[in-house]
Chains A and B, each alone.
Chain A
Amino acid sequence: MSRWGLVIDLDRCTGCQACVVACKHENNLPFSTPETADVGRLMTWIQLVAADLPGRPMPSSLPLMCQQCDRPPCTDVCPTSATYLNPEGIVAQIYPRCIGCRYCTNACPYAVKIFNWTEPEWPESMAGMRNPDVSARPKGVVEKCTFCHHRLIAARERARVAGRELAPEDYVPACVQICPAEAMTFGDLSDPHSDVAALASGPRAFRWMEELGTQPKVVYLREGE
Chain B
Amino acid sequence: MSDAPSRRDFLVYSGAAIAGVTLGETGRRWLGRMDERAAGWRDRGIETFAVSVCRECLAGCGIRVRLVDGVPVKIDGNPLCPIARGRLCAKGQAALESYFDPDRLLGPAHRIARGGPARWEPLPWKDAVALAADKITRAAGTPDGIVVVAADERGPEAEAWTRVWRAAGARLAWTPQPTAVRLRPRLRHLTGAEADPIFDIEHSSYVLSFGAPLADDWLSGVWAQRSFGRFRRGVASSRGRLVQIDGRRSATARKADEWLAVAPDQQSALAYGIASVLFRENRVDRERLASVAGNLGNFEHQLLTYYTPDNVASETGVPVVTILRMARELVATPRPLVIVEAGASVALVDAVLSLNVLIGAIDRRGGLFGRGDDPLPERDDAAAVLRDVAEGRLRPSVLVFADSSALRALGGPNRPETLAERVPFVISFSPYVDEAAAIADVILPADVPLERWHAMVPAAALGAEVIPVAAPAVKRRLDTRDTGSLLHALAVAIGGPVEAACSWTSSEDLVRAEVKRLATAKRGTPFVTTYETEWMQQLESGGWWAQAADSDAAFSDRVLASGGWVDPYFDAGQLTEALRGGRSLSFPLPEALPSAQIAGRATGADAAAEPPDTRFPIALVAFQPAVAATSGNANLPALFELLGQPDGVPWSLWVEIGSELAERLGVQARTRVRLTSAHASLDVMAVRVEGMPAGVAALSIVPGAQTAGRWSRLIGKDPRRLWGNDPAARACAVQIARI
Contacts and interface: CB of A to CB of B under 8 A. Distances in A.
Contacts of A62: 646
Interface string B438-461: 000000000000000000000000
Interface string B279-297: 0000000000000000000
B641 A16 contact: no
B645 A47 contact: yes
A178 B35 contact: no
Contacts of B703: none
A138 B34 contact: yes
B640 to A, nearest CB: 8
A17 B626 CA distance: 10
Nearest to B477: A125
A57 B256 CA distance: 10
A139 interface: yes
Contact of B87 (A25, A126, A179): A179
Nearest to B251: A15
Interface in B697-739: 710-711, 714-716
B76 interface: yes
Given A25-B638, A34-B651, A129-B71, A139 B646 contact: no
Interface stretch (B228-236, B269-277, B342-350, B524-532): B228-236
A180 B651 contact: no
Nearest to B92: A18
Interface in B603-627: 626-627
Interface string A122-147: 01111111111101111100000000
A43 B208 CA distance: 38
Contacts of A174: 74
B113 interface: no
Contact of A25 (B41, B96, B228): B96
A123 B709 CA distance: 12
B660 to A, nearest CB: 16
B38 A136 contact: yes
B646 A178 contact: no
B154 interface: no
B714 A34 contact: yes
Given A58-B691, A130-B41, A139-B34, A17 B90 contact: yes
B652 A34 contact: yes
Nearest to B72: A129
B638 A21 contact: yes
Interface stretch (B115-123, B219-227, B539-547, B572-580): B219-227
Given A32-B637, A61-B251, A129-B100, A14 B229 contact: yes
A14 B221 CA distance: 11
Contacts of A177: 76, 86-87
B87 A17 contact: no
Contact of B228 (A44, A60, A131, A181): A181
B641 A44 contact: yes
A48 interface: yes
A16 B90 contact: yes
Nearest to A43: B641
B664 interface: no
A44, A129, A223: most-surrounded residue (chain B CB, <10 A): A129
Given A15-B254, A32-B651, A38-B649, A21 B226 contact: no
Q: Size band of the A side of the interface?
A: 35 or more
A129 B96 contact: yes
A132 B638 contact: no
Interface residues of B, number: 77
B90 A126 contact: no
B62 to A, nearest CB: 13
Nearest to B715: A34
A58 B259 CA distance: 10
Nearest to A182: B229
B88 interface: yes
B100 A21 contact: no
Contacts of A42: 641, 650
A17 to B, nearest CB: 5
A124 B443 CA distance: 24
Contacts of A127: 41
Interface stretch (B42-50, B384-392, B410-418, B588-596): B42-50
B286 to A, nearest CB: 33
B74 A131 contact: yes
A12 B232 contact: yes
Contact of B627 (A17, A125, A137): A17
B637 A31 contact: yes
B215 A16 contact: yes
Contact of A37 (B43, B239, B650): B650
Given A25-B74, A130-B73, A132-B41, A180 B89 contact: yes
A177 B637 CA distance: 22
A34, A42, A126, A139: most-surrounded residue (chain B CB, <10 A): A34
Nearest to A22: B93
A199 B45 CA distance: 38
A224 interface: yes
A9, A20, A31, A181: most-surrounded residue (chain B CB, <10 A): A181
A42 B226 CA distance: 28
A33 B714 CA distance: 7
B381 interface: no
A138 B102 contact: no
A26 B230 CA distance: 26
Nearest to A10: B255
A131 B34 contact: no
A26 B74 CA distance: 7
A138 B38 contact: yes
A138 B638 contact: no
A24 interface: yes
B100 A125 contact: yes
A37 B255 contact: no
B93 A178 contact: yes
A129 B73 CA distance: 4
B68 interface: yes
A31 B711 contact: yes
Contacts of B75: 25
A210 interface: no
B87 A178 contact: yes
A133 B647 contact: no
Contacts of B642: 17, 20-21, 48
Contacts of A47: 645-646
B215 A15 contact: yes
Contact of A119 (B38, B252, B714): B38
A18 B87 contact: yes
B93 A18 contact: yes
5 tightest A-B CB contacts, nearest first: A181-B229, A14-B215, A180-B225, A12-B229, A31-B637
22 contacts: A11-B233, A12-B228, A16-B90, A17-B90, A24-B638, A25-B75, A31-B641, A33-B714, A47-B646, A57-B691, A58-B259, A119-B34, A128-B42, A129-B72, A129-B73, A129-B99, A132-B41, A132-B44, A132-B68, A177-B76, A178-B93, A180-B89
Interface of A: 9, 11-18, 20-22, 24-26, 28, 31-34, 37-38, 42, 44, 47-50, 57-62, 119-120, 123-133, 135-139, 174, 177-183, 223-225
